[in-house]
Structure formats: structure tokens, C-alpha cells
Structure 1
Amino acid sequence: MTPPARRDGTPEKKKRDSDMLISNAKPARRQNVKRSQREKKATAQSIANDLGADWLYEDSKSTQNPSTEGERLQKVLAKAGVASRRHAEVLIEAGRVEVNGEVVKRQGVRVNPNVDIIRVDGVRVNVNEEHEYFILNKPRGMQSTMQDDMGRPCVGDMVSEKVASGQRLFHVGRLDADTEGLLILTNDGELANRLMHPKYEVSKTYLATVLGEADNRLIRTLKEGIELDDGKAKADFVQVVDKNQGMSLIRLELHEGRKHIVRRMLKAAGYPVQRLVRTKIHTVQLGDMKPGGIRALNSAELTSLYKVVGM
């Protein structure tokens, strides 16, 4: 059979297999798409940089790559018990959710629950699953330490038996061995430091059983202030709860944290303390917990503590 002629009239030569070249190049159409995607990413990054909002660009990458670190904000809020995911989306759309001080209205934003600070209607939400918060009713004779070099009974002994936290807890402030009552335990160092700092003036309430039948003069003395060896000290609130057979039960509220402050104030006023129990720190109350009892703080208590120390 005569081979087909080319346009110049000469027959076309038959190609051999060795003359065939297979190209691995991808079609130009696909290459153009990829180049366009790269340009879009570069543009998005440039815009984010200009706005000083790198997290916007990071989030757009996160939605394309499910393995990126962080969780969707609505999921984090749902896990924290704030609302269902759908309701959380409604809260976000309404501008009621803040992440690190910035209002978030866009769905799909990813956050790190262990780092980011999230608020709903201005109230901080505990979304960090690594943080733990407990209150202990410390018995009399127990040292306010997590470990005692002298082998004396201490708070750490009770915690190791009753709290399987997997992390080291520490106590917020101290109660001397003879003082009973409310002690906060946590691994949230920032909250603990603020609760103990004098700047925030976190109130503490005590019930003191004293020698002597107290009257209104004691109330005035403690509220006006009494001179101690390290300066003047005064109570924010004083109440004589009961008097019986030469003893009195006194309720005091103060925001100072000096060592043995309640015992020293009452002794200086002429009413030596026989028994002392701390019943309340800010809004967190001991309630009917028995000595040695321990429980987790509820969300309302934790939110209240966040608020009083400006977290």
C-alpha cells in the first residue's frame, strides 16, 4: 500500500518504535491551575500580613488541611459545655465570642484550647482540658504542703489518694497546721499566682472560735484596724455569730494574706483563737464538705475566680 503523501507531495516515512518519544509532561491546562493556586495562596498571605492578621491565613489553610493543629471554635465551645455546636455557631455569628481579646464572627476558625483565651459575652470559658481545679477541706493537723521532708501528714498525701490527675497539683496559698478549711488545688499557675497576689485583694472568710464573750467593741476594733508588729491590719467584715459559756464564734472577712493574720488580729484584740476554719475564698465556699473531703470546682466558681483576678 502506498504511504500517504505529505503536503509537499513526498510520501510520509513510516515511524519506527524507537523513534516514538513518550512525554511525561502534564498538560498545560493542569499546570496553569496549580500556578493559579500558588498565586492565590501568596495573595492571601500578603493580605494577612498587611492586616497584621496571620491567624486569618492560618485558618484558611487549616480548613483545607484537616490534620492542621487546633480545633474548630464551635467544637471547643461545645466540648466546654457552653452550647451545642449549632448554638455555638449562632453565638459566633452574633459576635458574642472572643478569642484572645478579638471578636470572632467567622465560622471555621481554629483555636488551641490549651493556649487561647476564649470568652462568651465577656465571660471567660475554661476550655483547657489539661487544667484541673479542686477544693479541699484541710483537716486540723495537716501540713499545707504537697510533700513534707519530716514525714508529717500533708495535703499531698490526700491528693495522691483521691485525685488521679496525671499532673502535679499545687496549693493556692497556705493554712497553718492548726487551721482547717478551704484550700484550692490546681495546676493552673497563672490563676494560682493571681489569687495569691495582694494586688487583686481576693477576699477570704473565716470562722474563729475565741476565748471571751465578744461584743460590738471587737467588731469596731477589727474593722477600724489593729496595729501588729508588721503594720496595721483590718477586717472588711466582722460578725459575732454566737456567744456561750465564755466563748464566742466570730466570722471575719478580709483580703490580706499575711502569715497567721487572723490569729494575730484576734489575739491583739484580747480574744485568743481556739479553733479557726477558712470557709470561703471569694465566692467559692466550703459548704457542708467534711474534713478531708475534696471536689472539683464547678464552672460558675471557676468563672468567678477568673473574673476577680482579671483573667
Structure 2
Amino acid sequence: MTMSEERIQKVLAKAGLGSRREMERAIEEGRVIVNGEKATLGDKVTASDDLRLDGKPVKVENEKVRRVLVYNKPEGEICTRKDPEGRHTVFDRLPKLPGERWVAIGRLDINTSGLLLFTNDGEMANRLMHPSRQIEREYAVRVLGEVSQDNIDAMCAGVELEDGPARFTDVQFFNGKGSNQWFHVVIMEGRNREVRRLWESQGLQVSRLKRVRYGSVFLESTVRAGTWQELPKKEIDRLAASVELPSAPWKSIIKHKRDPMKRKMEKQRTRRSVENKGRV
């Protein structure tokens, strides 16, 4: 089966090799070869073309399996693949994807915890991160200082930061008293330290920051810090639809799901069997 022509950067992004922007840079750097010749921006390919990135063949598929992971990032981890200082990165604990790689949907700074999404679909990642899509990000924020309604009104109306205007679309008090108050805030973009800087513009300090939602995906309590969970197909399709992408095939990356209690009972039976043999 052949596929209709698609731009090379889009095909590479769909193959999970990076975001569309990263693949555009790879083309400009001459790292992408099509049928023995260097590709240029604007070129298109079909399934019958020999497409290679850094000398490695890229299989072009019509029905690529789309996967999404929900990861609960602990404080102290950084959002890069490798760190020259040897610090833990958010990629360290993710499952391996033979022939593909995980693409992070957005970032969290080293002192921020909570929800990070990873996918093997670079095109979906690119759309979900793009400011024009206006995807909601919700955070739980612990604030030091007395928060007034005037502060909240100002942050919702808009504040001029050094890199442009910013605002929350919603601020809701959650719980706490005095200098230990928790709020939930919603923002529509992911600029560097934007949530913290909005609060700082009001003379208030953020002491804890945790992302709890990205678009339609919430961080469930079952996903402990430093662990990941697969998103089911229904939720992936909903997320894809929010950025005008069609449904795609899904297949679990967990090959064998075994009940931990059953595994414990099997170990106990094996141990008893060995002990009984020793008595004969």
C-alpha cells in the first residue's frame, strides 16, 4: 500500500524522530537523504521512497501506532535527554521504544513537578505545544504571602512580563491559610517559568508548583512521582482530536501484565515446594 505525498519533516515527526521543527533543522543541516540525494525543505515523499535520517533508514507507514505516556515528574529532574552534569532526566525512567523515541510535549523546570506527556507522534507533540492551539495547562500552586482579590484580578487581566504579556485564564483558591495557601491556575501557553513570574509580578512567591492537567489529560493519583502510565486509546484519540488529528492505531507497550498478588502466591508455592523436597 502506498501513501499520498507528505512533507518530509511531517513524515519524520510522525515516525517519532523529533518534533517537526527539529526535523526541519535536520533537513537544513543536510542530515536527511531521499533516494540518495539531500532533501530540501518543501520536499515530499511517499512510502516507496528511500528516506534516511543520519544514514539510518526511516520506514514510512500509513498506519503508525500512536502512543502517549503520562509521567509524574519529581522535583529535581530536568527535561533534556542527557545532562553534562549527570543529573537525572525525565527520559531516564521511560520504557524503550525500538526504532523510535519519546517526544516530550512541553517542559517543566527543575523545581516543578507533576504531569508530563510523552508521545511517539512528533506531529501531535508539535501541535499540542504550539501557542496558536491555546491548549490549557492547569497547575496546583502553593503561594507564600497574603493573596488579595486585586492580585488575582490583575493576573487574570494580564501582566506585562519581560518577554511579553501573560495572564491566567482562571485562578481558584484550593485550601490553606495565611502564608500557606494553595491555588489552581490555568494558563494557555508554556513559556519559561511563566506561572512563577506571574505570581512574582504581584510580590508573591511560589514555594511549590505542580502541573495537574494538560488539555484533556489529568494526572491521576495512581501515577506516583517518578512513574509513568500508558494513556488508553480513547484518551489519546480525544487528545488528538483537540488538535485536529485523526484517530490512529494503538497497541500497549506492556507485553505482559501480571497480577502482583498472583505473582506473590506463585513465589510462595515455589518456596514451599522446595522446602518439602528438602524434607524427603
TM-score range normalised by the length of the shorter chain: 0.5 to 0.7
Greater mean deviation of Cα atoms: 140-149 or 190-199: 140-149
Q: TM-score, normalised by structure 1?
A: 0.57
Give the match's secondary structure for 2:93: helix
Contact 1:205 1:278 (8 Å CA) reproduced = yes
Tell me, yes or no, if structure 1 residue 249 matches structure 2 residue 182: yes
Aligned length in residues: 187
Per-residue deviation, 1:281: 0.3
Gaps (5+ residues) in structure 1? 1-53, 56-112, 117-127
Per the TM alignment, residue 222 of structure 1 is displaced from its structure 2 partner at its CA by 1.4
Report the equivalent of 1:9.
none
Structure with the greater alpha carbon radius of gyration: 1
1:219/1:239 contact within 8 Å kept: no
Distance in 2 between the 1:188 and 1:310 partners? 14
3-state SS in 1 of match to 2:155: helix
Deviation at 1:270, TM superposition (A): 1.8
User: For residue 268 of structure 1, what is the aligned residue in structure 2?
Assistant: 201
Partner of 2:143: 210
Q: Contact (CA 8 Å) 1:145, 1:171: kept in 2 or not? A: no
1:192 aligns with 2:125: yes
Q: Give yes or no for the alignment of 1:140 onto 2:87.
A: no
Which amino acid in the other structure matches residue 229 of structure 2? R
Larger mean Cα displacement after TM superposition, 243-252 or 138-147: 243-252
Aligned to 2:241: 307
Identical-pair percentage: 34
Which has the larger helix fraction? 1
User: Which amino acid in 1 is paired with 2:173?
Assistant: V
Which one scores higher on RCO, CA 8 angstroms, separation ≥ 6? 2
Matched residues in 2 for 1:149 and 1:168: separation?
20
| Matches of 1:290 and 1:213, distance apart in 2 | 31
Cross-structure match for 2:50: none
Query: Does structure 2 retain, via aligned residues, the 8 Å contact 1:213–1:243?
Result: no
Q: How does 1:156-305 map to 2 (within 5 A)?
A: 156-159=91-94, 163-166=95-98, 167-288=100-221, 289-305=223-239
> When the two structures are superposed, what TM-score results if normalisation uses the length of structure 2?
0.63
Kindly indicate whether the alpha-carbon contact (under 8 Å) linking 1:158 and 1:292 is maintained by their aligned counterparts in 2. Answer: yes
The separation in 2 between residues aligned to 1:199 and 1:221, in whole angstroms, is 23
Contact 1:135 1:294 in 2 (8 A): yes
Counterpart contact for 1:207–1:251, Cα < 8 Å: yes
Matching residue's letter, 1:199:
S
Match of 2:54 in 1: none
Q: Is the 8 A contact 1:241 1:249 kept in 2?
A: yes
What residue identity is the alignment partner of 2:73? Answer: K
- Deviation for aligned residue 1:185: 1.0
Counterpart residue identity of residue 183, structure 2: I
Q: What is aligned with 1:155?
A: 90
The verdict on how the C-alpha distance between 1:243 and 1:213 changes in structure 2, with shifts beyond 3 A counting, is farther
Runs of 5+ unmatched residues, structure 2: 4-59, 246-280
What's the secondary structure of 1:144's corresponding residue? coil
Matched residue SS, 1:157: coil
Q: What CA RMSD, in Å, does the superposition of the two structures yield over aligned residues? A: 2.0
In the alignment, the residues of structure 1 paired with residue 220 and residue 148 of structure 2 have an alpha-carbon distance, to the nearest angstrom, of 27
SS at match of 1:158: coil
The answer to whether the 8 Å contact 2:93/2:227 transfers is: no
Displacement after TM superposition at 1:170 (Å): 2.2
Q: CA deviation at 1:150?
A: 2.0
